[in-house]
Chain A
């Protein structure tokens, strides 16, 4: 059971380039989310999805797009990379339903924008 898989693990981009960070989960979780982790700032929610075809913005959505065409996949797109987007990006998933459920995280994508 792979859990949450993120690719690539590392990426270096030039300012203005675009790219897609991939996230896939095999736990049939309805809820998926993207966070960025910066020193001293914890994890901040970028976008999230409660099911295929449904997405919504988190705390820091500017500069990022998402889509959810399947339950398993939740890619994060940077349309025009900026140095301020240098960060470690984590994808997470969990079940929805009554009460709160624990989130399962991938191992992250370390992104540098030059």
Chain B
């Protein structure tokens, strides 16, 4: 019940295309869903996050879509650029637990 399942494991997209990464969770107590971006040799950095009271959040080219009834959320990267090539992790957390549960990561490569 604590798992967060992330797919795909890897993704190759042409420059200018849309990258889509999906995550699913079971624990209905989760109320915070961040996405992290990690470049080689660096630690993960917060990209965008959403709470379950909204169905979508957009920041620049990055959008989170959230489906509470299906217990799924996804990251959309519009107009993907070679500089977006990185590993992306979804995560989930419940208020008061102080713990984040991370997905297994998606390695994105954007071809120039």
Point out residues on A near B: beta carbons under 8 Å.
Answer: 4, 31, 33, 35, 40-45, 48, 50, 58, 90, 92, 96, 98-100, 102-108
Contacts and interface: CB of A to CB of B under 8 A. Distances in A.
Residue of A4, A41, A100 most packed against chain B (CB within 10 A) = A100
Nearest to A48: B98
Instruction: Classify the secondary structure of B's interface with A.
Output: loop
B95 A107 contact: no
B4 to A, nearest CB: 8
Contact of B43 (A40, A99, A108): A108
Interface string B90-112: 00010100111011110000000
B31 interface: yes
Contact of A43 (B46, B89, B95, B98): B89
Contacts of B46: 102-104
Contact of B100 (A45, A104, A106, A107): A45
Interface in B23-50: 31-32, 34, 36, 41-46, 49
Contacts of B98: 31, 33, 48, 50, 96
A104 B46 CA distance: 8
Contacts of B45: 105
Interface string B47-62: 0010100000000000
